Chain A
């Protein structure tokens, strides 16, 4: 497929919510017969770990709706006003918010990050891990899933120079 369109994504965020767009777009691009590369750098790099431990961080995101994935329709649509003094100080708040978000995703038929990542690999999406970030944060290749390539800015840019769509996420 020499004339295939190319998608180049930089994944730089490691929260659960921001983990979705790179994997959704890359898997869908591949499903649309496009080539896709995701370059994982900085906080996006842990998304290549065998176990993904990404969480949501309501404290740093006041726009995040706080919804309950259970109860009646009205209860589920209610947006809970959680003051920062609680979301930032109550131990375990992030874990709770993450569980609620995952449950909401599940109920709405949204794939898990692991599922989407697996689909990406199945469809031939290339994952490139930023070597510099690995050195800075002390990650080892053994911590990552199989099939990952390793490189730096030039590796990504060589591909991105030929890409039709380039996204920084």
Chain B
């Protein structure tokens, strides 16, 4: 993942639906087109929710990794 350059980071660990999505939306709004947000979450529901959110909004989910229950998402603003 070292090749992905992030402009901003957002920690949603411990938060439950729909907060990771709402906070991601706010964080993405603050970025410029093409910039990448790194978001971490512990909510297992965020896997499907982030995919759906990305599909609908057109902001690209560049990568998703999981380690010890912590999900890391890289989202590129459209």
Interchain CA distance A123-B21 in the complex, whole Å: 13
Report if A149 contacts B (CB, 8 A).
no
Report if B67 contacts A (CB, 8 A).
no
Main secondary structure of the interface of B (DSSP, over half): helix
**Interface residues as binary, A107-120 with B (CB distance below 8 Å gives 1, 0 otherwise):** 01111000010010
Interchain CA distance A128-B55 in the complex, whole Å: 29
User: Does the CB pair A24–B17 fall under 8 Å?
Assistant: yes
Given contacts A109-B43, A119-B22, A123-B25, contact A31 B53 (CB under 8 A): yes
Chain B contacts with A in 20-36, Cβ cutoff 8 A = 21-22, 24-26
Question: What are 16 A-B contacts defined by CB distance under 8 Å?
Answer: A24-B17, A24-B18, A27-B22, A28-B22, A31-B22, A31-B57, A32-B25, A32-B56, A32-B57, A108-B16, A109-B14, A109-B16, A109-B19, A110-B16, A116-B18, A119-B22
Binding site for B on A (CB under 8 A): 24, 27-28, 30-34, 108-111, 116, 119, 122-123
User: Does the CB pair A31–B18 fall under 8 Å?
Assistant: yes
Residues from chain B with Cβ under 8 Å of A110 in the complex: 16-17, 19
Shortest CB distance A48–B (Å): 20
User: Does the CB pair A28–B21 fall under 8 Å?
Assistant: yes
Given contacts A31-B53, A32-B53, contact A109 B15 (CB under 8 A): yes
Residues from chain B with Cβ under 8 Å of A108 in the complex: 16
Q: Which 7 A-B pairs have the closest CB atoms?
A: A31-B25, A109-B16, A109-B15, A32-B56, A28-B18, A109-B14, A110-B16
Minimal Cβ-Cβ distance residue in A for B28: A31
User: Does the CB pair B19–A111 fall under 8 Å?
Assistant: yes
Interchain CA distance A48-B25 in the complex, whole Å: 24
Residues from chain A with Cβ under 8 Å of B15 in the complex: 109, 111
Shortest CB distance A94–B (Å): 24
Interchain CA distance A32-B25 in the complex, whole Å: 8
User: Does the CB pair B56–A33 fall under 8 Å?
Assistant: yes
Interchain CA distance A54-B52 in the complex, whole Å: 31
Question: Which of A32, A33, A119 has the most C-beta atoms of chain B within 10 angstroms of its own C-beta?
Answer: A32
Residues from chain B with Cβ under 8 Å of A32 in the complex: 21, 25, 52-53, 56-57
Given contacts A32-B57, A123-B25, contact A27 B18 (CB under 8 A): yes
